[in-house]
Amino acid sequence: MIFDWLAREGGYILSWWALATLMGAAALPLCWRLLGGLPDRGYTLARAAGILLTGYIFWLLGSFGFLSNTPGSAVLAWVIVLAISLIAHFTRRESFDVRAWWRGNRAVIITGELLFIGLLVAWAFVRAHLPDTSTTEKPMDLMYISAIMRSQSFPPNDAWMSGYAISYYYFGYFLAAMFGKLSGVVSTIAFSLNIAMLFALTALGAFGVVTNLVRARLTRKNDAPAATQGTAAALLTGLLAAVFVVLLGNFQAALIEVPYQSRTASEAYLAFWDTPERDEYPERMSARADGIADDQPITLDPGQDMLAPTFRAHWWWFRASRVLQDRDLDGTPIGVQPIDEFPQFSFVLADSHPHVMTLPYVLLAIGLALNILLRGRASNRSETILYGLAVGGLIFLNTWDGPIYLMALVGAEVIRRLIARRAESRTLDLSDWLALAGFGLAVLILAAVFYLPFLIGFRSQAAGLLPNVNYPTLFRQYFILFGPFLLILVPYLAVEVWHGRGRMNWRLGLQVVAVLVGAVVILGLFSLLVTVIAGGAGGTPASVWVSQIPEIIVRRITHGLTTVILLAGIAVIVARLFARRGTGAAYNASTGFALLLIGIGVSLTLLPEWVYLRDGFGVRANTVFKFYYQAWVVFALASAYAVYSLIASVESQELVPAFRALSGALAALALALGLVYPALAIYNRMYQESGRLITTEQSPLTLDGGPTFIRGDFDHQDYNAIMCLSALVPGDEAVVVEAVAGTYDPNVGRVAALTGIPVLFNWPGHERQWRGSTFDATVGTREQDIGTIYQSEDWIVIQSIIDRYSIDYIFFGTTERNRFGPDAEYKFLDRLPVVCQSGESRFYATGGAALASAGE
């Protein structure tokens, strides 16, 4: 079966590998010049850089009308990147010996290449077992990829809102569509290949960053990068980083899910963790409904094997992304719980969302920050331009990430300056801070200028910050989420405190903590004052808010351990990085960078304890999601480096043997418990959910999820009719009408998702999120008008709607027949020609351009 699949679809995988490799090759000479601070001179980041730059030039020139959306235009963009890269390389002042670079980096290059191709094929193999495109928000992702592949110009069409462009940060979808067009595959195959590509690129980026981090630590003072020193240790640490970022899971599976499913955990144990849907057994809920008191014993059903083919618990692996449980002051769980995804969950789920598609470029930005630190000098103009392109790319990919990694770039420059002041035994002065502000502002302005065509039309649902009053995080739940890294990073920080000893600037660390606490208290008091003046908030009178203050204080005390630990982490990191005046920084650049990564992660997970972004959720659910996701990445990188520092570095020999052994044991425990999730979840998705364990007729492996997109379309009538229309309509100059429903329903929005041809309107819930305050004015009466087309018998009214929106095709498929009844189709049969039909699923042409296309 595997060889049959590779014979049929291996060429698709090979084409995406070749495209990514060619784009990386085009950017490599530019990386050689601009990323000279990295021991590998940016080789392991070149693919991400090449894809980003090629996609950027393709998009920019297309947005200004210089290029059309064709494979040839994408190739031209690649040629432009190659030309710029070669010019940059051959106009460099210092000499560069390619052969010497190869000799010094051969092991890294070979390992990186094997890692990339191996993981690309491996995750494509995983996807081929269950190429689902219909669950959760995959229809949205598929629609964007399909719409961009079909759009003739940029900005691309929003295929669920005809006549309008996409109102979302869509660059990740654009890159996937670019690969799809260049490789000649349909969007439903590009969807699966994009997931595999992201998995491999992210792992390669993590490998590259940490390998460079370890090799830089081995660099001799006043010497060129010692590329051959400690190569094996660097490679192993880099591979560990790849595992930590893309493969490791949190502790939910090992500590909660397995005991829950096997019924080996006590009820008190489950109540202790208090995670959603796993805080009590269903038998206890049934007993309570029958009037049995909670203190009375009950009989639990025998546990079932999570991998057994008869076990059909609904997506048990999904619970790992919903660990936090926020409760109101009366103990009632709130309606929308925090989302706490991590990369391995995202790849198992396989939604191609912006937070996933940005991962390789997040690693690129982190690598650029490391380059700033290791360069040992202020960034020049060319390097700053590259940083602006990368930060702007993150804003276009997943807007939340842009500010985070802009701060990472500035933070790296802070540490570079601190290390440079070591000989002078002083900290930063006013001129340093002004230079830092100028650098950050320059990168931000460049990012805004480079991506201005996107920013002009972008609308966000975020509308400022609100205080998080009632929902601090229980530390035991925080431990479930980040336990794999806490077991490693806590001993590492303890060792760093020991290394710093008399140089630790505890006064500054505590001052920073005091400022943070003070700012939060002031924000809370200000919010309370505004609420009282306004007479209440969210339907709750002001008097109730005031009366709840004692309960809020108690909640903050009982749930305050997470905040205390995170503040302690900030104090330690600040005290270590900013040595006491007169002592100078006593750490190497790699250690400083690892501390920066930990500091970013701690800050990202501390912010939702106090504030959240005001958005459509109304609570901190999305803020936790976005910030915790990036915290996972930086914690994972820092943890891999910490394992090396605690166990394999020369300096680790100074540690007490027992402490070193304990550190190794904790790292092994973290790895073992964290790998329980992928081991069970991947197997579950590949074999159990696909039905391959319980059927004797094995469906062939395939990357194409298109035929199974529409649920219940067992004879593929809808799918075949839609594919007929896709072949019939040459571009994107058409408007289709189909039934409208809410969100998460692949039985509507089918035409747009599978073909990219714009439909009049669909998935209103998501369209409202994307368009924010402009939604009502944009959508108008589209949903009601679509209902009229299907339900009304007054053809004059129907024709007026067709003319108003320039509708070309009306679809009457399974959903329309079930919703409106078969009699609703007679008016179309009597008046309009059928241009595509499969069984009882039909497309009707309304005239004009539609009939002309049908006749071609």
Instruction: Give the span between the Cα atoms of 326 and 421, in whole angstroms.
Output: 45
Classify residue 740 as exposed, middle or buried by CB count within 10 Å of its CB (0-12, 13-18, 19+). buried
Q: Using an 8 Å Cβ cutoff, are 623 and 607 in contact? A: yes
Count of other CB atoms within 10 angstroms of residue 220:
9
Question: Please, what is the Cα angle at 787 between 781 and 791, to 5 degrees?
Answer: 140
Q: Using an 8 Å Cβ cutoff, are 506 and 586 in contact? A: no
649 Cα distance to chain centroid? 32
Per-block mean pLDDT, blocks of 10 residues, the chain (856 long)? 88 96 97 94 96 97 93 96 94 84 93 97 95 90 95 91 90 96 95 97 98 86 46 93 97 94 89 91 80 78 62 74 90 88 96 94 97 92 96 94 96 92 73 94 96 83 74 95 97 93 90 91 74 59 72 86 95 92 76 96 94 79 92 98 91 86 95 96 87 70 90 87 93 91 82 94 87 86 93 92 94 92 92 93 80 48
Q: Using an 8 Å Cβ cutoff, are 304 and 261 in contact? A: yes
The strand pair at 540-541 and 809-812 is best described as unpaired
Helix (H) or strand (E) holding 814: helix 814-820
- Which residues have CB under 8 Å from 492's CB, separation 6+? 594, 638, 639, 642, 645, 646, 663
pLDDT averaged over the chain?
A: 89
Structure tokens at 314: 């609904």
Does residue 323 sit in helix, strand or coil?
coil
Q: Using an 8 Å Cβ cutoff, are 44 and 107 in contact? A: no
Question: Please, what is the Cα angle at 849 between 847 and 851, to 5 degrees?
Answer: 50
- Helix and strand numbers (H, E) in the chain are 37, 8
Q: Tokens 């931000």 map to which residue?
A: 444
Does residue 93 sit in helix, strand or coil?
coil
Q: Tokens 């179309």 map to which residue?
A: 828
Write down the pTM of the prediction: 0.93
Q: Tokens 């007679």 map to which residue?
A: 826
- Which residues have CB under 8 Å from 438's CB, separation 6+? none
Least Cα distance to 177 among 166, 165, 164, 193 occurs for: 193
Structure tokens at 213: 């981090």
Question: Please, what is the Cα angle at 316 between 314 and 317, to 5 degrees?
Answer: 130
Instruction: Give the span between the Cα atoms of 102 and 646, in whole angstroms.
Output: 30
Classify residue 267 as exposed, middle or buried by CB count within 10 Å of its CB (0-12, 13-18, 19+). middle
What is the chain's Cα-based Rg? Answer: 28
Distances (CA, A) of 57 to 74, 81, 173, 363, 397: 9, 8, 15, 21, 15
Helix, strand, coil percentages (3-state) for the chain, rounded to 5, are 65, 5, 30
Helix (H) or strand (E) holding 537: strand 536-537
The strand pair at 809-812 and 736-737 is best described as parallel
Largest distance between two CA atoms of the chain: 91
Q: Which residues are bridge partners to 834 per DSSP?
A: 844
pLDDT of residue 498: 92
Up-side HSE of residue 559: CA atoms within 13 Å toward CB?
A: 24
Distances (CA, A) of 17 to 10, 208, 821: 11, 18, 48
Helix (H) or strand (E) holding 467: strand 465-467
pLDDT of residue 311: 42
Q: Using an 8 Å Cβ cutoff, are 34 and 343 in contact? A: no
Instruction: Give the span between the Cα atoms of 138 and 710, in whole angstroms.
Output: 12
Instruction: Give the span between the Cα atoms of 585 and 421, in whole angstroms.
Output: 8
Q: Tokens 């009457």 map to which residue?
A: 812
Structure tokens at 475: 């530390």
pLDDT tens readout for residues 32-64: 999 999 999 999 999 999 999 999 999 999 999
pLDDT of residue 423: 59
Q: Using an 8 Å Cβ cutoff, are 394 and 358 in contact? A: yes
Q: Using an 8 Å Cβ cutoff, are 238 and 211 in contact? A: yes
Q: Tokens 């959306």 map to which residue?
A: 69
Query: DSSP strand E in 86-162: where?
Result: none
Give the DSSP letter of residue 836.
Answer: E
Helix (H) or strand (E) holding 482: helix 475-500
pLDDT of residue 545: 67
400 Cα distance to chain centroid? 10
Least Cα distance to 134 among 704, 578, 530 occurs for: 704
Helix (H) or strand (E) holding 573: helix 561-577
Complete DSSP assignment for 694-754: T-SSPPPP-S--GGGSSTT-TT-HHHHHHHHHHHH--SS---EE-----SS-TTSSHHHHH
Q: Using an 8 Å Cβ cutoff, are 579 and 425 in contact? A: no
- Which residues have CB under 8 Å from 152's CB, separation 6+? 68, 69, 731, 732, 733
Instruction: Give the span between the Cα atoms of 155 and 572, in whole angstroms.
Output: 47
pLDDT of residue 94: 80
pLDDT tens readout for residues 335-362: 888 999 999 999 999 999 999 999 999 9
Instruction: Give the span between the Cα atoms of 9 and 4, in whole angstroms.
Output: 9
Q: Tokens 């590779």 map to which residue?
A: 6
